[in-house]
Structure 1
Amino acid sequence: MNMIFRLSASVAVIAGLTLSASAQEIVLRSSDTHPDGYPTVEAVRHMGELLMERSHGRIGIEVYHSSQLGEEADAIEQTRLGVIDVIRASFGPFNNIIPETKVPSLPYIFRSTDHMRSVVDGDVGADILAAFEPHGLIGLAFYDAGARSFYTGNTPVRSIEDMAGQKFRVMQSDLFVDMVVALGADAVPMPYGEVYSAIQTGVIDGAENNPPSYESSAHVEVAGYYTLDEHLIVPEILAISKSTWDRLSPEDQALIQQAATDSVAYQRELWDAAEAAALETVVANGAEIIEIDKQPFIDAMAPVYERYVDTPELQDLVARIQAVE
């Protein structure tokens, strides 16, 4: 597989990337696993429109949504090799490659969406973006992916005590399992497509996700209690292949970086609207939105942080994030 990737990369250098080969047209291929119309997809399109306008039609972006260029792990590898130029990706696949990405993936590391945005818009965010370069990527910007919360079918979670004994579906992730166990519940890894029937039949008591996913999956039909604990507020990365970047002029690099930065506000606007609409829809469909005291949930994460924040560098990064107002 790696040989195929290297061959593809060589072909891209020779034929594709009309990048340095033509000063008249630069077409960047961008990959996203999300469907057409999703806020991240539309934000990269907006970035392309800004580039077309500011470069007087010389630089554009072709957006390939819905995993057309491969599932996320493969698309990341192809971007690192220069076969794909631009990628929007979640942090999870990078956790074992780039240590700094583990920290924004920690439960309750961000106090709120506003806190997350303040962090990634500042020096800490710049340092995390810089950590991608040694791994074949230039981090351009962070996009929102919402806040994930727990939802249940029979027993609402109004306090940490209500977590005890309940079974929650989680992704195949040691971090997710450890988080749920630390809260006193049972973690059940399973494919996302099985969640509806598993809640309906009592195999599990609930799951966790952001409001748009909770709404679009119709899980509200079998799990009508949505607890706003917001245990994960993990941003997503927008990056460009370093091999693509290195073939651009400094002027074009600046144009692309500025367009990426300017696309963030547009993506956040789309995401906020999607989240608000989703909450409105699930309430109309009978869901109860439950606000809680998060502090006991946060306090329960001590063993999780002890396990995953395992170097002085990561401990310093956690402290810097927590210090941001």
Structure 2
Amino acid sequence: MKKAISIFLAAAMLAGVSMGCSSSPASSGSSSGSASSSAAKKPEFVFRYAENQAKDYPTTQGAYKFAEIVEQKTNGRIKIEVYYGAQLGDEKSVMEQMQFGGIDFARVSLSPLAEFAKQLNVLQLPYLYRDSAHMWKVLEGPIGDQFKNGLGESKLVGLSWYDSGSRNFYNSKKPITKLEDLKGMKIRVQENQMMMDMIKAIGAQPTPMAYGEVYSALQTGVIEAAEN
């Protein structure tokens, strides 16, 4: 079984949030009660969370729940703003922004992340897992921890794994029932060299493309199929 994996990331610079940051200044005695209450509710830190899926998508709803829990657990001291639908850019752009602190959290697919940390390609090799239970046993065990905790050079911190379902092909031309049906087709793949090599190996033409461009590319004929 070929599974799609995504990961929840935080920018490495967040590790310094609890250090060197003063608390909000105390209100003066002349401030009104309502003003003091308003100041108390103002968050000390505001972080940005990037998600490329729509607002009602499960991973986006998970992002909102994460933001809600963080705000509750910190008594409003930390606020996380969720930007869904790739408002802050595609996944590659988001990770680049995270590296210099422009974005603080993101849920991204493993394929584009593997271009920043090549060792992650191992986890998305075709037919690596027997089923979902096998995949989660790997990801939630010492092997998964080793990969998740090994992103230091990329200036990113892995927080948790997501299951993005089984990988599949879809197209605008014909039914696909066997690998031979894909030969010669222009197929969208994620922006990852291993994925491009896989498509070449089955005799098709890989076209690396951001997720948000796939629908229009299928409509205009830039691609004939997509792997996702």
Q: TM-score range by the shorter chain?
A: 0.5 to 0.7
Q: Which residue number in structure 1 is paired with residue 106 of structure 2?
A: 87
Q: Which residue number in structure 1 is paired with residue 159 of structure 2?
A: 140
Q: Is the CA contact (8 Å cut-off) linking 1:95 and 1:101 kept in structure 2?
A: yes
Q: Give 1:190 deviation, angstroms.
A: 6.9
The one-letter code matched in structure 2 to 1:33 is N
Q: Which residue number in structure 2 is paired with residue 120 of structure 1?
A: 139
Q: Which residue number in structure 2 is paired with residue 261 of structure 1?
A: none
Q: Which residue number in structure 1 is paired with residue 197 of structure 2?
A: 178
Q: Is the CA contact (8 Å cut-off) linking 2:114 and 2:192 kept in structure 1?
A: no
Structure having the higher strand fraction is: 2
Q: Distance in 2 between matches of 1:115 and 1:138?
A: 24
Q: Which residue number in structure 1 is paired with residue 185 of structure 2?
A: 167
- Answer yes or no: is 1:21 the counterpart of 2:22: yes
- Report the CA distance shift for 1:22/1:112 in structure 2 as closer, same or farther (over 3 A): farther
Q: Give 1:155 deviation, angstroms.
A: 4.6
Q: Which residue number in structure 2 is paired with residue 250 of structure 1?
A: none
Q: Give 1:63 deviation, angstroms.
A: 0.8
**Residue of 37, 46, 52 corresponding to 2:65:** 46
- Report the CA distance shift for 1:40/1:19 in structure 2 as closer, same or farther (over 3 A): farther
Q: Which residue number in structure 1 is paired with residue 6 of structure 2?
A: none
Structure with more relative contact order (C-alpha pairs < 8 Å, separation 6 or more): 2
Q: Distance in 2 between matches of 1:54 and 1:130?
A: 24
Residue deviations 1:16-52 (CA, integer Å, cap 9, x gap): 9999333773332212222222222211111112222
Q: Is the CA contact (8 Å cut-off) linking 2:115 and 2:192 kept in structure 1?
A: no
Q: Is the CA contact (8 Å cut-off) linking 1:31 and 1:88 kept in structure 2?
A: yes
TM-score normalised by length of structure 2 = 0.67
Q: Distance in 1 between matches of 2:81 and 2:18?
A: 12
Q: Give 1:188 deviation, angstroms.
A: 4.6
Q: Is the CA contact (8 Å cut-off) linking 1:17 and 1:27 kept in structure 2?
A: no
Q: Is the CA contact (8 Å cut-off) linking 1:168 and 1:208 kept in structure 2?
A: no
Q: Is the CA contact (8 Å cut-off) linking 2:199 and 2:206 kept in structure 1?
A: no
Q: Which residue number in structure 2 is paired with residue 37 of structure 1?
A: 56
Q: Is the CA contact (8 Å cut-off) linking 1:17 and 1:26 kept in structure 2?
A: no
The one-letter code matched in structure 2 to 1:86 is F
- Report the CA distance shift for 1:70/1:117 in structure 2 as closer, same or farther (over 3 A): same
Q: Distance in 2 between matches of 1:70 and 1:155?
A: 33
Residue deviations 1:262-306 (CA, integer Å, cap 9, x gap): xxxxxxxxxxxxxxxxxxxxxxxxxxxxxxxxxxxxxxxxxxxxx
Q: Which residue number in structure 2 is paired with residue 194 of structure 1?
A: 217
* Secondary structure of the corresponding residue to residue 44 of structure 1: helix
Q: Is the CA contact (8 Å cut-off) linking 1:18 and 1:26 kept in structure 2?
A: no
**Cα RMSD between the aligned structures?**
3.3
Q: Which residue number in structure 2 is paired with residue 272 of structure 1?
A: none
- In the alignment, structure 2 segments of 5+ residues that lack a partner are 1-12, 25-42
Q: Which residue number in structure 2 is paired with residue 149 of structure 1?
A: 168
The one-letter code matched in structure 2 to 1:55 is T
Q: Is the CA contact (8 Å cut-off) linking 1:19 and 1:25 kept in structure 2?
A: no
Number of aligned residue pairs: 189
- Report the CA distance shift for 1:106/1:56 in structure 2 as closer, same or farther (over 3 A): same
* Secondary structure of the corresponding residue to residue 164 of structure 2: coil
Q: Distance in 2 between matches of 1:34 and 1:71?
A: 10
The one-letter code matched in structure 2 to 1:194 is A
Q: Which residue number in structure 1 is paired with residue 83 of structure 2?
A: 64
Residue deviations 1:119-140 (CA, integer Å, cap 9, x gap): 2122111111111123212211
Structure having the higher helix fraction is: 1
Q: Distance in 1 between matches of 2:80 and 2:49?
A: 7
Q: Is the CA contact (8 Å cut-off) linking 1:18 and 1:27 kept in structure 2?
A: no
Q: Distance in 2 between matches of 1:80 and 1:28?
A: 14
Q: Which residue number in structure 2 is paired with residue 268 of structure 1?
A: none
Q: Give 1:181 deviation, angstroms.
A: 3.6
- In the alignment, structure 1 segments of 5+ residues that lack a partner are 1-11, 210-325
